[in-house]
Structure 1
Amino acid sequence: MSRRTLCDRGQAARSLDVKVSVIVPTYRRTADLARCLAALDAQQRRADEVIVIARHDDYTTLDWLRTREANRPDTRIVLVRTPGVVAAYNLGIESASGDVLCFTDDDAAPHPDWVERIALAFENDASLGGLGGRDIVHERNGILQGQKPRVGLVRWYGRAIGNHHIGHGAAREVQVLKGVNMAFRREAIGTLRFDGRLRGTGAQVHCEMGFSLDVQRRGWTLIYDPSLLVEHFPAQRSDEDQRDTFNDTAFYNASFNLRLIMCEYLTPPGRWAFVAYSTLIGDRADPGFLRALSLAFESGGVALALRKWRVGLRAMRGAWQEAAR
């Protein structure tokens, strides 16, 4: 089947043969969770089960969930005691019974055809290990705009390309899916789990990158289809990573995670090229020395730019030490 029509509902009868589980980690965001679960209730093809992973001490969310889900046999509440999305994802994998495991965030609302398109895609392509799509990001009183042809890639020297929120065109093979809108075949996952060594007590940035690369290394195909949509309303996080506010710990954690993944994924020449690239160049979010100087001249924040660079160096050292264990 053409990648262009991978998720086209007109190419096959409505699929009920594939059992679909949806996994939704949540923490202290009941209003966002209500919108997410309402969107899952409105699916044209309902999921066979929805698993909400909630923290054991998040009493407000648990009280709300238990009231709402009392008469909903297709929704289960699973309690996690370890902070961070990695533990929540892994508990979701272990708790789910579906042939296909879908992941979305509590601050997202999948479009009504989301589950059906995912089920059909996996049913129609036996080599498909993972499928993801675009998240339409609602931010700054609008929607983030843009169109990028390259999405979800890792260059041989470690440059990571995201752009899942502004990808366009036909469905295409990628290397990395995004947690807010991704699904994996149970058979492709097997015993694989999200990496518990990754740092952070909440989002644990880049965790889906490592997982996606591991699935691909097992010989499965990953597809990004920009017509597979969720609405994404980035909500405030309840950890050290507050998105647009700089925090040394959050920056170190994200840098450490990226560097650990690259240390273990890239070829030996690629690793050394990554050390040079990330130390000297990097990107706007995680700048090397030269980019840090460039950003400092743009914004006037010399101290902050160089502070990010120094934290990145510490993260590189920590990641290499972790990878060597």
Structure 2
Amino acid sequence: MPIREPQVKVSVIVPTYRRTADLARCLAALDAQKRRADEVIVVARHDDYATLDWLRTREANRPDPRRWLVLLHKPGVVAAYNLGIESATGDVLCFTEDDAAPHPDWIARISRAFRHHPELGGLGGRDIVHQRNGVLEGKKPRVGLVRWYGRTIGNHHIGHGKARKVQVLKGVNMAFRRNAIGSQRFDARLRGTGAQTHCEMAFSLNMQRRGWTLIYDPALLVEHFPDPRNEDDQRLTFNDAAFYNASFNLRLILCEYLTPAGRLAFILYSTLIGDRANPGFVRALSLAFEKGGLALALRKWRVGLRAMRGAWQEAVR
């Protein structure tokens, strides 16, 4: 008689805020999973009355004992993630966003990976980004990495090839073993009124530093439909406060993660070179002839300098 493999209990955590149409699509995708989650925890703000009314109406029409709502009294995804961790009872905690729709085999793949690989602390995959009437295309072999001098490589939305070890997972498509999480929580010091950009980077790096393996598998898929955010940190428009918050978060994380030599190199790299999202002075000059031009690039550079100073002060406290 064959021996049945022990199952893992899977919880899915979905933070949401004022996006009921997106949330409907997300929950429909979770309902359509080949292997259903043992519990789906929707984390909503206590004063988001439109979402709360919609959820209560949906629950009245389609009750499901595996799905439940927890109310959040603080703004920001960090608080939502942490409340989800505290509320979940699963052996594996999966995270996605309300504007995403996991593929039907999403939970089955996650459950199988954690069941077969006891060293696995975290698993993430590709988000297929729908934007401007199309899908962001590309193929990149390097995904979710942090160089010794602080250069970060994302590419989670265009990774391809085989599953491989990474250092950073992406919030829209990630899962962690409960035992690997332990007492770790998302960093409440990170700035932002909504998305609190880079919070999953801090969480991933901390878990990796404690010896757990993180894997990125491009076959683990969610459809991602990024909508304009409801807070300052918009995706497609520049806002000084939101840019400062994102830059502060990135710099704080790297100042605490890198070696002393790496921190010094990072300060020089980010101040002089940087990347398109966070340009240093030289890159700012190179962007002079692109849309937005030199003025916007230099504005980002100046805000980045302020963010570096603030992050350094926070890191050395």
- With normalisation by structure 1, the TM-score equals 0.95
Cα deviation code 1:81-126 (max 9, x no counterpart): 1100000000000000000000000000000000010000000000
- Structure 2 counterpart of 1:33, from 1, 14, 23: 23
SS in 2 for 1:45: coil
Cα deviation code 1:266-325 (max 9, x no counterpart): 000000000000000111011000001111233362211111000000000000011111
CA distance in 2, matches of 1:15, 1:154: 36
Cα deviation code 1:148-176 (max 9, x no counterpart): 00000000000000000000000000000
CA distance in 1, matches of 2:64, 2:301: 50
Asked if residue 273 in structure 1 is aligned to residue 268 in structure 2, the reply is: no
- Asked whether the 8 Å contact 1:14–1:120 carries over to 2, the reply is no
Alignment partner, residue 223 of structure 2 = 231
- Structure 1 counterpart of 2:96, from 73, 87, 104: 104
- Structure 2 counterpart of 1:65, from 52, 55, 59: 55
CA distance in 2, matches of 1:154, 1:117: 26
| Identity, % of aligned positions | 81
- Structure 2 counterpart of 1:186, from 165, 178, 198: 178
- With normalisation by structure 2, the TM-score equals 0.97
Alignment partner, residue 313 of structure 1 = 305
- Trace 1:1-325 onto structure 2 (pairs within 5 A): 17-70=7-60, 71-299=63-291, 301-325=293-317
CA distance in 2, matches of 1:157, 1:266: 7
Figure out how many residues of one structure are paired with residues of the other and give that number: 313
Letter in 2 for 1:124: H
CA distance in 2, matches of 1:26, 1:312: 29
CA distance in 2, matches of 1:302, 1:174: 34
Runs of 4+ in 1 over 6 A off after TM superposition: 13-16
TM-superposed CA distance for 1:67, in Å, is 1.5
SS in 2 for 1:78: strand
Structure 2: runs of 5 or more not aligned: none
Structure 1: runs of 5 or more not aligned: 1-12
- Asked whether the 8 Å contact 1:14–1:116 carries over to 2, the reply is no
CA distance in 2, matches of 1:298, 1:58: 39
CA distance in 1, matches of 2:98, 2:264: 38
CA distance in 1, matches of 2:147, 2:217: 20
SS in 2 for 1:298: coil
SS in 2 for 1:316: helix
CA distance in 1, matches of 2:294, 2:104: 47
Letter in 1 for 2:283: R
Letter in 2 for 1:305: A
TM-superposed CA distance for 1:16, in Å, is 6.5
Letter in 2 for 1:67: T
SS in 1 for 2:249: helix
SS in 1 for 2:123: strand
Letter in 2 for 1:34: A
Instruction: Kindly report the root-mean-square deviation, in angstroms, between the aligned alpha carbons of the 2 structures.
Output: 1.2
Seen in structure 2, the aligned counterparts of structure 1 residues 152 and 312 have a Cα distance that, compared at 3 Å, is same
Cα deviation code 1:48-81 (max 9, x no counterpart): 0000000000000001111112421101100011
TM-superposed CA distance for 1:15, in Å, is 6.7
Cα deviation code 1:187-217 (max 9, x no counterpart): 0000000000000011110000000000101
CA distance in 1, matches of 2:41, 2:228: 22
